[in-house]
Structure 1
Amino acid sequence: MVPLLTVEDLSMEFDGNTVLNNINFQLAEGEILGIIGRSGAGKTVLMHLIRGVDTPPTTGKIIYHISTCSKCGYVDLRSKEGSACAKCGGEMVAEDIDLWADENEQKKRSVMVRTAIMFQRTFALYGDDRVIENVLHALSDIKYPSEKAVNRAADLLDEVRLSHRMMHIARDLSGGEKQRVVLARQLAKDPFLLCADEPTGTLDPRIASIVHEMLHNSAVNNNMAMVVSSHFPEVIVDTCNRAMLLEEGEIKAIGEPSRIIDTFMENAHEDSGYKATELGERILTSRDIAKRYLSVDRGMIKAVDGVSFSVAEREIFGIIGTSGAGKTTLSKMIAGIIEPTAGDMNIRIGDECVDMTKPGIEQRGRAKKYIGLLHQEYDLYPHRSILDNLTDSIGLEFPKELAMRKAIITLKMAGFTEEKAKGILNRRPDQLSEGEKHRVALAQVLIKEPRIVILDEPTGTMDPITKIDVKHSIVTAREEIDETFIVVSHDMEFVRDICDRCILMRGGKIVKIGPTAEVLQELSDKERQIMANV
């Protein structure tokens, strides 16, 4: 393996306190080195010194083994020695650079351009800009050719599996999604080394594992070396080539990850294991929500009468009941179409809860754009192509090339294969089957990148084969992009097969909530007959 850097006798003191003591190791090109240790072991200080930020070490060296262009000074990997420079075509010449030597300040900056760092709590995003715009800013910073920038930004978002969030405002993302945007921005620099300092420390274990997978794949796919610290031992074992155990500023062990983790765990007294869960945190919480109407002939109508429930991320949640039970009214309040009369309803957007009972662009108005609603009688523009239905018709403000790419990505989320998605882009809706049209209609909702999708009677009078297509598209969207669904339906078989939990409504109230099988048992014979014949 070709070495990328060598750390020699590195020590660091702050105010007389030794933080790092005689650190020695090598990192190879493309190698993933995991660092584990208790808080205060020196992990962050070591990463900062490797990256070249903050203050120089008290003693020791960090030597980068690189190749430098003889004409333009571009820095690349040592393995590129003798090849043509990627920037100007000049010859790449081998060079060793002592990163912290005073005389190497200019060379240090050249190396830092090809390295990147991610922190635990600092997302460093343009909060009011869209996700793709954040990546475009990063490409602009390195003077990436503007005519190629949009495609490159889309490629990077593909790489971190965030194509389904590219049009979101950055501040409205969850913590895990923000960290993946940060990763995309760092990858835009085309680094040969990424230092990731507890990048998932504030995330729940399931989301943390996704981010670590992104980091691992990025390192492998880009021949990028990585130094990553994590408090999840399993992640070190699963993603790293080697691991290092730091204790009080010293390397206690370095080698095969599982062996290092076993050594660490011998003296660890806290449970660091975790299990991934199917569902995420609460995304919707309703407490005593109500909607009343005043009718001339019927007086006060309690369409929804004080209902309380919650929905988790990635959950497929059902709302069932006969006509007049309050299902549609409740779903419209969730969608922000109508305002509740009383009660509380909050929807989590990013890391913040938005109050759906309050009007305004910072409350209900903010959440509405992240809630998709697919009616039973969905509307596709009959005389326009599928591509136009998905892009121009909803005002997607990006070049045609990106619009086509986004359409294909979204159709795949809705259950189409990539080949099929490409094949239907120029067709009209009447040239598709009912199942295909339903999936296109779902894609028309998903392309707006909602947090929650409300499906109002999604099966209608569909035949069994088409219902299977619809189930497939819903499950695909959940698995591929962590989508959350609320299904309003009278179709008991469909609800049984697709919903994790559901509520049964009668007269505006919830009479049963829980696992779908249990709730369906609560149906009366009359309800079963009515719902079966709707």
Structure 2
Amino acid sequence: MASLITVENLCKEFNGIPVLKNINFSIDEGEILGIIGRSGAGKTVLMHLIRGVDEPPTSGKIIFHISACNKCSHIDLQSKTGDKCPKCGGELVKVDVDLWAEENRSMKRRIMTRSAMMFQRTFALYGDDRVIENVMHALSDINYPPEKQVSRAADLLDEVRLSHRMMHIARDLSGGEKQRVVLARQLAKEPFLLCADEPTGTLDPRTAKIVHEMLHESSIGNHMAMLVSSHFSQIIEDICNRAIFLEDGEIKKIGDPKEIIDTFMKDAADDEIFEKGDLGDELLHAKDVIKRYITVDRGMIKAVDGVTFEVSEREIFGIIGTSGAGKTTLSRIISGIIEPTGGEMNIRIGEEWVDMTKPGIQNRGRAKGYIGLLHQEYDLYPHRNVLDNLTDSIGLEFPKELAMRKAIITLKMAGFNEDKSREILNRLPDQLSEGEKHRVALAQVLIREPRIILLDEPTGTMDPITKIDVKHSIMHAREDMDETFIVVSHDMDFVREICDRAALMRHGKIVKIGPTEEVLEYLTQEEREIMSRPEA
């Protein structure tokens, strides 16, 4: 099989700190190459360099082996050398292009038109447009003949099994459906390379499996090479031809996906033992909470339907359920983002009980300041460094020395060791891995010293080792700071390991509440299939 890309001695530094160190490997035409490694290993930086975005490497080369038309700007696979150009009829000539060489800037732009990228948390859709219109926009971007766009867009939606959603408004799709629209938009470019950086990190396991199947089928059907990073290790084993184990910016091993995963997972054992939580008095009490919506097409929707529960000090309380069960709506009521239709949501502040359902600075306004929320679609301030994101950007005023001290303490609680905490203080968010960004976002919540922290899908984009770090950060925050956590998650393994109690929601109601293991035993087989992660 012909080679598509050769990476030679690739190095990348940020502020003098090495992130990638002498990376060497190749990708063949049509090959699916997996990258696995814990957060901060350099996976995203490597993908961006191969895609040609952001800043150039510090040293080394990324060489694309392609063919280029001698008459127009069309480029193709090197295996097409000698064929006629499908655009103008010219001849395709063999070319090797050093992507980041200054003299190849024009050719780099041409290569980027035939490569695509899917990010882990950015759907990049026109939210108010229909699904088929989103795909047609992508076809317009590559100057596809207008009179053929509707038919081609429909073909692409067939390819990602989304024909039954083509007339839906994009913002109304589920996360998995949005990601399949993104894939259809990328396939519109007819890429010979797709970089998929944790494309299913925020999706439930069953939906993630569907999207990965789409990626696999698209690679084979379009003879498209793919570079895919994922913390779903079983998926890398299932769909990748080869895999790379990346650690601290270095390739530790490359070869058979199963062997690579086995090597990586050796470090994922959790030997730390935590004491059973010594719970305090009741801290939050919800009584008959209701949230109803009126819609044109579906009429009355009972998103939350008469929910009653309580949470104690220092408790880690889980809220679980499949998509549409009402857990996200309930979490937004708890955090004060939305107002319920009826019922009470009381939180104890000091010796006083405050009803979150009542507006005003002495009620919901007062309580919100003591509730920290980390949503799965969190945002950091892109142009402020980590220190500023933890202090100035969220309105906390500390003298510089105290700010650094407080930031380091909080970053350690969020899963960083002290050396790493000091190392990243002056980095911008774009210089962090996705897992590191998540932990900084958690630190941004912790530094406000809330009484209750609500975590929405806290492990969605994390590799197994980073998940252990986050588990430890939550347990240490409970032990060291007397923090109370409410965890909304589809990751049943994580819920089992960390939660004292859990509540199972179905159709807006809590149908089972109690010790976590008892609640998990109450799941139906369908719920288990949806919410259980693939075996690693």
Q: TM-score range by the shorter chain?
A: 0.5 to 0.7
1:263 aligns with 2:263: yes
Aligned to 1:37: 37
Distance 1:230 1:224 in 2: 18
Contact 1:173 1:349 in 2 (8 A): no
Aligned to 1:186: 186
Aligned Cα root-mean-square deviation (Å): 3.7
Aligned to 1:19: 19
Distance 1:339 1:150 in 2: 34
Distance 1:63 1:238 in 2: 28
Distance 2:264 2:306 in 1: 47
Question: Aligned AA for 2:190?
Answer: D
Structure 1 position 134, deviation (Å): 0.3
Aligned to 2:89: 89
Aligned CA distance change for structure 1 residues 235 and 343 (closer, same or farther; 3 Å): closer
Distance 2:295 2:79 in 1: 60
Distance 1:119 1:237 in 2: 20
- Per-residue displacement from partner, 1:386-424 (whole Å, max 9, x unpaired)? xxxxxxxxxxxxxxxxxxxxxxxxxxxxxxxxxxxxxxx
Aligned CA distance change for structure 1 residues 343 and 62 (closer, same or farther; 3 Å): closer
Structure 1 position 73, deviation (Å): 2.5
Aligned CA distance change for structure 1 residues 60 and 351 (closer, same or farther; 3 Å): farther
SS in 2 for 1:259: helix
- Per-residue displacement from partner, 1:45-88 (whole Å, max 9, x unpaired)? 00000000000000000000000000002110000000000111
Aligned CA distance change for structure 1 residues 162 and 333 (closer, same or farther; 3 Å): closer
User: Equivalent residues in 2 for 1:125-524 (5 A)?
Assistant: 125-269=125-269, 336-337=298-299, 348=324
Contact 1:62 1:98 in 2 (8 A): yes
Structure 1 position 205, deviation (Å): 1.1
Structure 1 position 334, deviation (Å): 11
Aligned to 1:418: none
Distance 1:338 1:10 in 2: 57
Distance 2:196 2:244 in 1: 14
Aligned CA distance change for structure 1 residues 338 and 54 (closer, same or farther; 3 Å): closer
Structure 1 position 335, deviation (Å): 7.2
SS in 2 for 1:202: coil
SS in 2 for 1:108: helix
Aligned to 1:73: 73
Aligned CA distance change for structure 1 residues 337 and 14 (closer, same or farther; 3 Å): closer
Distance 1:351 1:48 in 2: 35
Question: Aligned AA for 1:117?
Answer: M
Structure 2 length as normaliser, TM-score?
Answer: 0.53
Distance 1:241 1:270 in 2: 30
Distance 2:231 2:66 in 1: 31
Contact 1:172 1:351 in 2 (8 A): no
Which structure's relative contact order is higher, taking Cα pairs within 8 Å and 6+ residues apart? 2
Contact 1:212 1:235 in 2 (8 A): yes
Question: Aligned AA for 2:89?
Answer: G
Percent identity between matched residues is 67
SS in 2 for 1:128: coil
Distance 1:349 1:104 in 2: 53
Structure 1 position 269, deviation (Å): 2.3
Distance 2:47 2:145 in 1: 31
Aligned to 1:53: 53
Contact 1:171 1:350 in 2 (8 A): no
Structure 1 length as normaliser, TM-score?
Answer: 0.53
Contact 1:175 1:350 in 2 (8 A): no
Question: Aligned AA for 2:166?
Answer: M
Structure 1 position 173, deviation (Å): 1.0
Question: Aligned AA for 2:130?
Answer: R
Question: Aligned AA for 1:237?
Answer: E
SS in 2 for 1:4: strand
- Per-residue displacement from partner, 1:408-451 (whole Å, max 9, x unpaired)? xxxxxxxxxxxxxxxxxxxxxxxxxxxxxxxxxxxxxxxxxxxx
SS in 2 for 1:12: strand
Aligned CA distance change for structure 1 residues 515 and 119 (closer, same or farther; 3 Å): closer
SS in 2 for 1:68: strand
Aligned to 1:303: none
Distance 1:144 1:351 in 2: 43
Structure 1 position 268, deviation (Å): 1.6
Distance 1:189 1:169 in 2: 22
- Per-residue displacement from partner, 1:297-347 (whole Å, max 9, x unpaired)? xxxxxxxxxxx9x9xxxxxxxxxxxxxxxxxxx9x999754699x9669x9
Distance 1:204 1:106 in 2: 41
Contact 1:154 1:163 in 2 (8 A): yes
Contact 1:132 1:166 in 2 (8 A): yes
Question: Aligned AA for 2:40?
Answer: G
Aligned to 1:468: none
Question: Aligned AA for 2:253?
Answer: A
Structure 1 position 515, deviation (Å): 11
Distance 1:265 1:154 in 2: 41
Question: Aligned AA for 1:182?
Answer: V
Contact 1:2 1:78 in 2 (8 A): yes
Distance 1:78 1:351 in 2: 51
